[in-house]
A and B are shown apart, each in its own frame.
Chain A
Amino acid sequence: MMKFRSFRYYLKEAITNLFRNGVMSTVSVLTVASCIFMFVLMFSLAVNIDFMLHQLSNTLGFVVVISDDATTAEKEALYAQIIDAPHVSDLRYIPADEGLRNFMESLGADDGLFEGLGLHGSNPLPHIFEVRVGDPRYMEMVVRNIVAIGGETVDEINEQSELVNGLITFNRGVRIASVAVVAVFVSISVIIIINTIKLTVNNRKTEIGIMKYVGATDWFVRWPFIIEGILIGIIGALAADIIFSYSYTAFINSDFRFFEILGEFAAFRPSSEMLPLVSIVALPTGVAIGAVASLLSVRKYLKV
């Protein structure tokens, strides 16, 4: 167990070192900050795409066109099967006349037009099922499933899921890219912090030797350096977090034309939800980068 009085000593040493190597410390903090900024940028992109996919899955489904020849019993059996199928979150039967009424209403027409067109009794629309899928990634699977169980009863399926599929593919791409980007940037920051701390350690090689002569344990020598690394990580993460918070809020509130179009389909995750999420990710990442880097850099200097 580390005693509090030792911790106070380690912290004081770490802060002194940070200021003594001001330039390298600043470089390290900036590197960590830009790495973590890139990381949270990728992260927020992925989170937003997920968020949008979920919204889309609530508005987008697909339509199963039922064969004109299907009997009521067949329709009821199909309804029961689809509603029990995996990943189907909602199912609605829309008979042809209801569909027509909806269509007319959406055109702003009243019953007068409806009758005026002489469509009564000769409805061109089919009976349909409207299917909603809980998770858009399973859309394809559900469609295939319904084709399989529907057989003759199903005439055709109108998928509107191209946008969804596009987003899913894009999201997968973003995830892979973020892993790659994050790996590269984390490595860069670890290397730069290692060098900062090595500089400190090198400057203090004789001091470390002296400490060990006086009877300091390896951990006693190590802790100030580890804490120095963690401090660099935390400061960098906080800087990234603050910059991200301002940028994200500004981005969300900006009035690009693109947003208006996009806004028809899905909204971005609001700042109030996004920012805490990003902080939760950024801080531990900073701490981890700093701790790993400092552990690596003091490893070999302790042999006295």
Chain B
Amino acid sequence: MIELLGVTKIYENGAKGVLDLSLKIEKGEFAFVVGASGSGKSTLIRMLLKELDPSEGQIFINGQNLGELTMKQIPYFRRSLGVVFQDFRLLKNKTVYENVAFAMQIVEASSREIRRNVPAVLSMVGLQKKAKAFPNQLSGGEQQRTALARAIVNKPALLIADEPTGNLDPATAWEIMGILEDINARGTTVVVVTHAKDIVDQMQKRVLTLNNGVLLKDIDQGGYNDEV
């Protein structure tokens, strides 16, 4: 599903994002990416979304070499992914329902499909009652669940989350992780960047640890501080 071959990202100002990173995440996996602040996690995620291009090396997603994507193809590539961020990134002038429907309008889904799929994902994330609410009327957890609903409504094969629980209290963070696990159980590959040590320890999934841009550890099933 995801393959990195010797990927290095040096920013224009000389800052080192990631260094010679090679890794592989298989279809259907659930992987955490952990590491101290500044270790290169977001750099990795942004390259997976083709928001950044690596300075060196190659990235394949679903067999597609990202280096070969043209500007025009990027939107279509992104539609095959679901993305969730720490700051939710909802459209503030749209209701919960409209935010989720938006992802379907982009792909020119029919209004019938929209009317069918949007309520279905909203109930999957437990937001059917908040459909008409605007983001500023929601708690952080509800906003993130909206973002999750939007990320999965087009049934992406890969879901990428950069610190999805970073702004949430522990109880809410667990809810969100539960939903991510659900989504993974339905066949979607899930990559989650996180600092939530408790959650990582308890969920016993694959853990990739970055340190100063280098892949320090890659544990198949483990906790935050486990040794290889």
Taking A5-B110, A214-B83 as given, write out 14 further A-B residue pairs in contact, using a Cβ cutoff of 8 Å, ordered by the A residue number: A5-B111, A16-B93, A207-B93, A210-B91, A211-B102, A211-B106, A213-B49, A213-B83, A214-B102, A215-B79, A215-B103, A215-B106, A218-B75, A220-B75
Partner-B contacts on A (CB < 8 A): 3, 5-6, 9, 16, 20, 206-207, 209-218, 220, 304
On chain B, the residues within 8 Å of A211 by CB distance are 91, 102, 106
Q: State whether A215 and B107 are in contact (beta carbons under 8 Å apart), knowing that A207-B91, A210-B90, A304-B51 are contacts in the complex.
A: yes
Flag if A215 contacts B76 (CB, 8 Å): yes
Flag if A3 contacts B91 (CB, 8 Å): no
Q: Which chain B residue shows the least CB distance to A20?
A: B93
Flag if A214 contacts B103 (CB, 8 Å): yes
- A-B residue pairs in contact (CB < 8 Å), sample of 27: A5-B108, A5-B111, A6-B108, A9-B105, A16-B93, A20-B93, A206-B89, A207-B91, A207-B92, A210-B89, A211-B106, A212-B75, A213-B51, A213-B78, A214-B83, A214-B102, A214-B103, A214-B106, A215-B76, A215-B77, A215-B103, A215-B107, A216-B75, A216-B106, A217-B75, A217-B106, A220-B75
On chain A, the residues within 8 Å of B108 by CB distance are 3, 5-6
On chain B, the residues within 8 Å of A218 by CB distance are 75
Flag if B110 contacts A213 (CB, 8 Å): no
Task: Map CB proximity to A onto B66-81 as digits: 1 under 8 Å, 0 otherwise.
Answer: 0000001001111101
On chain A, the residues within 8 Å of B110 by CB distance are 5
9 tightest A-B CB contacts, nearest first: A215-B79, A215-B78, A217-B75, A210-B89, A216-B106, A215-B75, A214-B103, A9-B105, A207-B91
B145 at the interface (CB under 8 A from A): no
B206 at the interface (CB under 8 A from A): no
B150 at the interface (CB under 8 A from A): yes
Task: Tell me the B149-163 residues at the A interface (CB within 8 Å).
Answer: 150
B214 CB to nearest A CB, Å: 27
Q: Which chain A residue shows the least CB distance to B91?
A: A207
> With A and B bound together, what is the CA distance between A5 and B108 in angstroms?
7
Secondary structure class of chain A's binding surface, majority of residues: helix
Task: Tell me the B101-120 residues at the A interface (CB within 8 Å).
Answer: 102-103, 105-108, 110-111
On chain B, the residues within 8 Å of A206 by CB distance are 89
Q: Which chain A residue shows the least CB distance to B110?
A: A5
> With A and B bound together, what is the CA distance between A212 and B79 in angstroms?
10
> With A and B bound together, what is the CA distance between A292 and B150 in angstroms?
33
> With A and B bound together, what is the CA distance between A16 and B150 in angstroms?
22
Q: State whether A214 and B93 are in contact (beta carbons under 8 Å apart), knowing that A5-B108, A6-B108, A220-B106 are contacts in the complex.
A: no
Flag if B105 contacts A6 (CB, 8 Å): yes
A163 CB to nearest B CB, Å: 63
On chain A, the residues within 8 Å of B93 by CB distance are 16, 20, 207
A14 CB to nearest B CB, Å: 13
On chain B, the residues within 8 Å of A220 by CB distance are 75, 106
Task: Map CB proximity to A onto B40-53 as digits: 1 under 8 Å, 0 otherwise.
Answer: 00000000010100
> With A and B bound together, what is the CA distance between A304 and B72 in angstroms?
12
On chain A, the residues within 8 Å of B150 by CB distance are 214
> With A and B bound together, what is the CA distance between A212 and B72 in angstroms?
12
> With A and B bound together, what is the CA distance between A16 and B107 in angstroms?
21
> With A and B bound together, what is the CA distance between A213 and B99 in angstroms?
13
> With A and B bound together, what is the CA distance between A209 and B78 in angstroms?
13
On chain B, the residues within 8 Å of A20 by CB distance are 93
B40 CB to nearest A CB, Å: 20
> With A and B bound together, what is the CA distance between A217 and B105 in angstroms?
11
On chain B, the residues within 8 Å of A212 by CB distance are 75, 78
Residue in A3, A209, A215 with the greatest tally of chain B CB atoms within 10 Å: A215
> With A and B bound together, what is the CA distance between A210 and B103 in angstroms?
10
A107 CB to nearest B CB, Å: 83
On chain B, the residues within 8 Å of A213 by CB distance are 49, 51, 78, 83, 89
On chain B, the residues within 8 Å of A5 by CB distance are 105, 108, 110-111
On chain B, the residues within 8 Å of A3 by CB distance are 108
